[in-house]
Structure 1
């Protein structure tokens, strides 16, 4: 990237994550979103953006552009990666924020359209060049990376928790259940889909679901490969999620107080990503948080000699902010270097 100009991003999908990315980038001086691909009506896309931000009056339409304080993005009416001509916008990186396209084969369509690199908002379906979690493995990135992922909100929270605790304790194995807000691919009324449970109303039910974090964890934290089981409970809450993690510690002397102290040290070391809360908060209290992990000190419990249970909160805006961190990391590397 030319350091004399902002990092130029393209965005596919102007759903909740896409709108958060646009809002966050508009508040920065080093990033601008220059093109957005979405099939929604421009006036409705603007309406949704304004409904979610603290300063809605700063956003407006100007022809086919959605504009903010430091962003002026061309709206393109498509939802197909292969139809987007990223090269004409001179983008440095494209973020696929749809949550729909997760395979390397489909993501390469962005590259064919002129995107130097593509970042996936979620975990991939198959192997890509890199999964990057800021604060953990950003030193692993390479100028040859073209298909990348910033993980997911749940994956970032889990990795930061494990990474912080593993600095002081030996963790043998563990189990994660994320108590997660319902997602945009769930139906609000019972509707026949591809999965029995997820065909039931997200607004009326607690719905057990699988989660891919355990599958990809070893790519970010090799010491935990195959050691953490992961699952999800989607609950009738629109936003705000809870990370419920039970860990088996090698040493029988680990106390809840010791775990809390280590997490406080971790928060002090990475205050932009990790926080610790001592108040008895609930899910709505975390809305708008730009942290990836808000550790709940009241939720730490010891059971028997080796089990420690922890609770942590997170919200999608924190993940959006981490995605922009990853974009900056690659922007600082400069242009893509081809593999020899």
Structure 2
């Protein structure tokens, strides 16, 4: 028994030694490190060890801190340029190659294009190119967006949250209440860091980020330049304006260059699901939509299945957590059934997500129907994809394909994969993936396939929005190891 404790203590010690290397690579080089898609920046020792343990679920082999620590040490010496690097995948690849190369030679081959690319001048230029962001609205999605933007500001060369725009509340301590809602969250837990309030200048300071709180009753009357904000991207998370005329009001305010909506856009507004059709974003686009949480959750999985097996038609049933649009107790609501108490009822309602898939993935136009059931949980939802395919499928074949897509394809940020008979909705709170395939629930036979896809309809969606904003701002970094469609499933 003593050897188990001794081994654990020794791994703890190694994980502790990893923390300053991870932090230095992030803050000095703006290198974001992860282990099989699990970010390890600002993680505790236990968090780092758990990220390593996760690999056992998806690769059927253990990954130890002894595998990844040498890679971090080597990377710390290489003066790397900005990048996202999955050290877990690099470590497994190096181990599987059986020492054919030295570690230095291996890294030269895998990440050579960014070795030696860091310099004080490039860091200074990147800082100048930092893009100002304004959150218009500060509800559930707004606060999650704020948390992600603040978290990602640590490297210094990314998006910078400069202001939050809200309507004046009725309380005299409105500013403190806004800060408190950012500081504490019943679903996502406490804010990771420190928050203080500058009452004299009406601002919130979160982890060193100075965020002006601006009170306004309309999007077209503001002068952001008076706060030092220029060419900002406004993220409208109110849902009040959803067409070009309404969202175009933001562009009338000084200091705004572009607008993105955190809801499905109407009319000719491009609905973007990052990872699927973000190549549609052009420099000329002033107004974009990040579609809906459900559309973001299902479209990547649907694309993966359609590319490999062909979707003839299907039905999407969304089992969705209740939202602010519903009533806590029975009361009047203009929508059907939504007036009934959300915490006490399952509520059948409509969803446009299935049809909205076609706005990002036109080849599925007219092939999908959809409906939704609101259930008494505060966060994390599920989509059930009931599909008829062009090719015959098996449970084992589909699960192996989706596992590979989640780990090694261009959709690895969007699709996650879990293969446990014990997971439930709360296990996915905080997931930054658009959707998580539950392998244990997959049903397949002949040309029929039923998939169960979990998604954190708040955090996962917010991460997708930030990915869109990064591209709009031109803040994109190379990703290593290089991603490609798994060879065994290539056409």
Q: TM-score, with normalisation over the residues of structure 2?
A: 0.64
Deviation at 1:57, TM superposition (A): 4.7
Corresponding residue number in structure 1 for 2:148: 24
Q: Contact between 1:172 and 1:250, CA under 8 Å: does it hold in 2? A: yes
Alignment counterpart, residue 299 of structure 1, candidates 422, 436, 441: 441
Q: Give secondary structure in 2 for the equivalent of 1:168.
A: helix
Deviation at 1:76, TM superposition (A): 1.2
Deviation at 1:32, TM superposition (A): 1.2
1:59 aligns with 2:200: no
1:330 aligns with 2:472: yes
Deviation at 1:100, TM superposition (A): 2.7
Paired with 2:225 and 2:327, the residues of 1 have a C-alpha distance of 36
1:33 aligns with 2:172: no
Corresponding residue number in structure 1 for 2:257: 116
Paired with 1:157 and 1:309, the residues of 2 have a C-alpha distance of 15
Q: Contact between 1:81 and 1:106, CA under 8 Å: does it hold in 2? A: no
Q: Contact between 2:444 and 2:450, CA under 8 Å: does it hold in 1? A: yes
Q: Contact between 2:298 and 2:453, CA under 8 Å: does it hold in 1? A: no
Distance 1:261 1:145, change over 3 A: same
Q: Which moved more, 1:53-62 or 1:65-74?
A: 53-62
Paired with 1:87 and 1:131, the residues of 2 have a C-alpha distance of 29
Matches within 5 A, 1:1-340: 3=126, 4-29=128-153, 30-39=158-167, 40=169, 41-52=174-185, 53-55=189-191, 57-63=193-199, 64-88=202-226, 89-114=229-254, 115-128=256-269, 130-251=270-391, 253-268=392-407, 269=409, 270-279=411-420, 280-302=422-444, 305-315=446-456, 316-332=458-474
CA offsets 1:148-199 (integer angstroms, 9 cap, x no match): 0111211111111111112211110111111000111111111111123111
Paired with 2:367 and 2:336, the residues of 1 have a C-alpha distance of 28
Q: Contact between 2:442 and 2:450, CA under 8 Å: does it hold in 1? A: yes
Corresponding residue number in structure 2 for 1:338: none
Deviation at 1:287, TM superposition (A): 0.6
Q: Which structure ranks higher in relative contact order (CA pairs < 8 Å, sequence separation ≥ 6)?
A: 1
**Which one has a larger percent helix, Structure 1 or Structure 2?**
2
Number of corresponding residues: 330
- Flag structure 1 segments of 5+ consecutive residues without an equivalent: 335-340
CA offsets 1:100-144 (integer angstroms, 9 cap, x no match): 32222211111111321110001123321x222121112221111
Paired with 2:311 and 2:450, the residues of 1 have a C-alpha distance of 12
- Flag structure 2 segments of 5+ consecutive residues without an equivalent: 1-124, 477-491
Paired with 1:321 and 1:59, the residues of 2 have a C-alpha distance of 22
Q: Give secondary structure in 2 for the equivalent of 1:288.
A: coil
Q: Contact between 1:13 and 1:79, CA under 8 Å: does it hold in 2? A: no
Select the structure of larger CA radius of gyration.
Answer: 2
Q: Contact between 1:34 and 1:91, CA under 8 Å: does it hold in 2? A: no
Corresponding residue number in structure 1 for 2:5: none
Q: Contact between 2:195 and 2:207, CA under 8 Å: does it hold in 1? A: yes
**Which one has a larger percent strand, Structure 1 or Structure 2?**
1
Q: Give secondary structure in 2 for the equivalent of 1:238.
A: coil
Paired with 2:245 and 2:210, the residues of 1 have a C-alpha distance of 30
Q: Give secondary structure in 1 for the equivalent of 2:333.
A: coil
Deviation at 1:302, TM superposition (A): 2.2
Q: Contact between 1:65 and 1:75, CA under 8 Å: does it hold in 2? A: yes
Distance 1:56 1:264, change over 3 A: closer
Q: TM-score, with normalisation over the residues of structure 1?
A: 0.92
Distance 1:192 1:55, change over 3 A: closer
Deviation at 1:330, TM superposition (A): 1.0
Q: Contact between 1:10 and 1:86, CA under 8 Å: does it hold in 2? A: no
